[in-house]
Amino acid sequence: MDGDRFDLAIVGAGLSGSLLALAAGEAGLGTVLIDRMPLKSFTDAGFDGRTTAIAYTSHRLFAALGLWRDLADQAEPILDIRISDAGHDGRPSPLFLHFDHREAAPEGDEPQPMGWIVENRFLRAALLRRLAACPQVELIAPDEVIETRRDADRADLTLKSGRRLAARLVASAEGRVGTMREEAGIGARAWSYDQIAIVLVARHARPHRGVAQEKFLPGGPFAILPMRDGSTGEHRSSIVWTERADLARRLLELDAPRFQAEFARRFGDHLGRVESTGPRWWFPLGLVHAERYIDTRLVLVGDAAHGLHPIAGQGYNLGVRDIAALVEVLIDTKRLGLDVGAADTLERYARWRRADNFTMVAATDLLNRLFSNDIKPVRLVRDLGLAAVNRVPPLRRFFVRHAMGLVGDLPKLIRGERP
């Protein structure tokens, strides 16, 4: 395809859009990636203080694309997950659920971590570095799509800068607040949880030993995620602290000593003295799930298709699986000399992704509703539920394999192979 004509035009260079561009470009699809933000801002220290739990199978895709060697030194393995219910005082209930990574390994196989915690700024930097070196991908930012025309033959995009592009297919990776879905008349199930996630980095006296903890407090889950030790050897964890929105706003306005006291009470003392360090970020939480993922020469990926509660740390991992399935479908089509934006190509992608996404959206929604309250009978039932699952090894193994992304019809990249 010549200068301004592409197989694939991706709108949005967040974690999903940039990974899709890299996977598509590496597979040989002429790709353009557009974002309204200057690319340099993505890796600024203040841009995104989150970490992402990269599931075991997402890591296989990263490895297949040669991205993992840039990230391995910055990724902390998740070896155990401990889930417990806790009351207002932050004290965990004696009934809990414990997942051990060794349980998921098939007999005789070397156990693998359930996933890795990676800082988003490192993910973004590694993606941008690889994209800049990929000849099949053109990056355009900052710029914005102001008009899209899609018909049976092609899609035409007009950018704010005045540049015009033509593509076989447009992918909206615009995140949950994108406009292309609505413009295409695709509805969505969407609601707010009236919760805010406060995100920060904690420093603690004792090492975390690769254990990810999730405490269910009355306002929502409080996650303690193991990070790599800091540059001076300090032990660190990434915190995703969900609270009712009104309370979260008041907490964020507290001065440092008061905030630290509230934080330390919820964190507990299992890792010795703990301190909240650096800036605090906050994210309003809600759910959005598109009624369909495709339209004429348009496909939705990542949060543009499904934005979920971070309760299970799976939102991006679903997007990674979208990307693996989409690239496989597109490259199979291109190799046959057929049209990558044709309706039957897109149908294959949509059918492949629907069930996995639907299951995770429903599961995270249910978990959040069940655990983000302090209603005594509900608490009793869920505590007994956690303890019951904890006693049944096959059930524990089932959940661990789901969290690792090992369940279902896995695309090649998710199996660690190039499509």
Q: Kindly list the residues in this chain that would bind ligand FAD in the complex (CB under 6 A).
A: 11-17, 34-37, 50, 52-53, 144-145, 173-175, 178-179, 197, 199, 240, 283, 302-303, 310, 313-317, 319
Complex with ligand FAD: residue 90 or 175, whichever CB lies closer: 175
Residue 83's alpha-carbon distances to 97, 224, 347, 386, in angstroms, are: 5, 10, 38, 8
Consecutive H or E run containing 43: none
Complex with ligand FAD: residue 220 or 315, whichever CB lies closer: 315
Q: What is the largest CA-CA distance in the chain?
A: 65
Consecutive H or E run containing 295: strand 294-295
Complex with ligand FAD: residue 28 or 142, whichever CB lies closer: 142
Compute the least distance from the CB of residue 313 to ligand FAD, in Å: 3
Compute the least distance from the CB of residue 148 to ligand FAD, in Å: 9
Q: Is residue 99 a contact partner of residue 399, using CB atoms and an 8 Å limit? A: yes
Give the Cα-Cα-Cα angle 275, 280, 283 (nearest 5 degrees).
135
3-state per-residue secondary structure call for 67-103: CHHHHHHHCEEECEEEEEEECCCCCEEEEEEEEEHHH
Complex with ligand FAD: residue 183 or 374, whichever CB lies closer: 183
Complex with ligand FAD: residue 13 or 202, whichever CB lies closer: 13
Compute the least distance from the CB of residue 199 to ligand FAD, in Å: 5
Q: Is residue 40 a contact partner of residue 81, using CB atoms and an 8 Å limit? A: no
Compute the least distance from the CB of residue 382 to ligand FAD, in Å: 22
DSSP secondary structure, 215-231, as one string:
EEETTEEEEEEE----T
Instruction: Determine the Cα–Cα distance for residues 71 and 392; give it in Å rounded to an integer.
Output: 35
Complex with ligand FAD: residue 134 or 305, whichever CB lies closer: 305
**CA gyration radius for the chain?**
22
Compute the least distance from the CB of residue 24 to ligand FAD, in Å: 14
Compute the least distance from the CB of residue 13 to ligand FAD, in Å: 5
Complex with ligand FAD: residue 50 or 382, whichever CB lies closer: 50
Q: Which residues are paired to 76 by β-bridges?
A: 117
Compute the least distance from the CB of residue 225 to ligand FAD, in Å: 7
Complex with ligand FAD: residue 78 or 339, whichever CB lies closer: 78
Q: Is residue 301 a contact partner of residue 319, using CB atoms and an 8 Å limit? A: yes
Q: Is residue 85 a contact partner of residue 379, using CB atoms and an 8 Å limit? A: yes
Compute the least distance from the CB of residue 419 to ligand FAD, in Å: 21
Instruction: Determine the Cα–Cα distance for residues 2 and 307; give it in Å rounded to an integer.
Output: 35
31: nearest Cα among 7, 56, 48: 7
Complex with ligand FAD: residue 320 or 339, whichever CB lies closer: 320
Which residues are CB-neighbours of 94 under 8 A, at least 6 positions away? Answer: none
Complex with ligand FAD: residue 22 or 199, whichever CB lies closer: 199
Please state the φ and ψ torsions of residue 368, each to the nearest 5 degrees. Answer: -65, -40
The amino acid at residue 374 is D
Compute the least distance from the CB of residue 85 to ligand FAD, in Å: 21
Compute the least distance from the CB of residue 126 to ligand FAD, in Å: 15
Strands 235-244 and 188-204: antiparallel
Give the orientation angle of helix 376-390 with respect to helix 393-404, to 10 degrees: 100
